[in-house]
Amino acid sequence: MKKEIISIGILGLGTVGQGVLKILQENKEFIEQGIYPYKISLKKIADKNKEIILEDKSYYEILTDSAEEVVTDPEIDIVVETIGGFEPARSLIVRALEKGKHVVTANKEVVAKAGYEILNLARKNKVHFLFEASVASAIPIIGVLSRSLTSYPLKEMAGILNGTTNYILTKMSEENRDYEDALKEAQEKGFAEVDPDKDINGFDSLNKIFILSAVAFKAKINPNNIYYEGIKNISKTDIEYARELGYKIKLLALAKNGGKELDIRVHPALIREGHDLASIGGAYNAILVHGEGFGDLIFSGLGAGALPAGSMIVSDIVEIVKDYDNYNSKFKDFEEKKVKDFKQTHSSYYLRIRVKDRPGVLAEIAGSFAKNKVSFASVIQKGEPGEIVDIVFLTHKAKEGNAQEALKEVARLECVEKICNVIRVVEI
């Protein structure tokens, strides 16, 4: 006899867990229309905080402080993991899968660090491990990549995948705010974590572009080989100069399919004003996907929050239940691919260099760059002549390794006070 009621257990009642709870309750009828003739039933919720306050008192009856109880309950069919962080989340997911339960998560750390093994385990046990909410919360990008963009190998992706940094950069750009000031506001408004380091330094974006690359390119890659850089060095001055040159500064996650080698990286980038990604503001995320036949597709939406993330977790539950009696792994084999050595990649550069303001400086700097095969597209020097002045350069495309060599040399020039900033220019 076919099973008709699918039981769900939730691990962790933080922001996202409570979002899932709310959606499952408020939209039960709507959700069940989509999975007819199946029904879903919330069997158990676990949170280690015994004193947790839940709006709906009836939940206390199924609340436990033992995650173990949820992952071993023989009646539970689908486990939702919304604890966050690497451990104990990973172990609990593994336990649940071993017990033959499907698992849905929003946990990008677990997916990024242990995704391949977990997917293998899931397949071995003929259960699903789904993680739509782990990247760009409300944007169903993993579904699109794995289910809809199946006719052409993807060539390229470019994403604004971290809401905190995008919020800060937007505030700095639109309201002329300082970095520290904008970060403080992001924290006050709940867009940034109390400890925002992993957002700010680009690590969060790295996890996400790694997950997207694995899915889009069906690739097994080592995330440790991906270059990442955060936004800490971006100043109002750079944003101003960029604007003058016709660009906006965004923290971009990039992935290019070079066949055997993938060029994947995360760094701040100048993108042309007027490009669709340049106008993605505040806490929004966006992903551009480029394929040979179909051109550019852009998806944008809220990148964080209880309900945006919760809605994608619930849609993963629906995905599992819809075909409950016909298991078919959603992810096929991943092929081993290399991440291209960052020094071998190519970019144009925005350079802000502080120099002693005297004749011949430009020629000296240009000389060092030319020697390393880096040439300039434009140069701006503004303001009154004085002792010290900032010069801004835009270079033509050059090899990263060469640019780094050139910059080392330039830094040693007697006329150069300081390399204030180096930001890549991305044409997408």
Instruction: Report the binding-site residues.
Output: 108, 193
Q: Is 132 in the site for a copy of itself (CB under 8 A)?
A: yes
C-beta closer to a copy of itself: residue 16 or 183: 16
C-beta closer to a copy of itself: residue 89 or 302: 302
C-beta closer to a copy of itself: residue 136 or 339: 136
What letter represents residue 96's amino acid?
A
Q: Give the residue ranges of the annotated binding site for NADPH.
A: 108
CB 252 within 8 A of CB 266: yes
| From candidates 315, 348, 372, 421, binder to a copy of itself by CB under 8 A | 315
Q: Is 336 in the site for a copy of itself (CB under 8 A)?
A: no
Task: Given the residues 44, 101, 208, 256, select the one marked as catalytic.
Answer: 208
| From candidates 307, 389, 391, 406, binder to a copy of itself by CB under 8 A | 307
Three-state SS at 55: coil
Least Cβ distance, residue 379 to a copy of itself (angstroms): 30
Q: Is 279 in the site for a copy of itself (CB under 8 A)?
A: yes
Q: Is 150 in the site for a copy of itself (CB under 8 A)?
A: yes
| From candidates 300, 372, 395, 421, binder to a copy of itself by CB under 8 A | 300
Q: Using alpha carbons, select from 341, 310, 81, 111 the residue that is nearest to residue 226.
A: 341
| Strands, E assignment, 307-375 | 335-336, 338-339, 346-356
Q: Using alpha carbons, select from 63, 9, 65, 47 the residue that is nearest to residue 317.
A: 9
Least Cβ distance, residue 137 to a copy of itself (angstroms): 8
CB 246 within 8 A of CB 271: no
Q: Is 322 in the site for a copy of itself (CB under 8 A)?
A: yes
CA distance 53 to 242: 48
What's the N-to-C CA distance of the chain in angstroms?
A: 53
CB 268 within 8 A of CB 277: no
CA distance 315 to 96: 20
Task: Count Cβ atoms below 10 Å from residue 341 Cβ, excluding itself.
Answer: 13
Which residues are designated catalytic?
208
Binding site for a copy of itself (CB under 8 A): 19, 23, 27, 30-31, 33-34, 36, 132, 137-140, 143-144, 147-153, 218, 274, 276, 279, 291-302, 307-308, 310-312, 314-315, 318-319, 322-323, 326, 328, 332
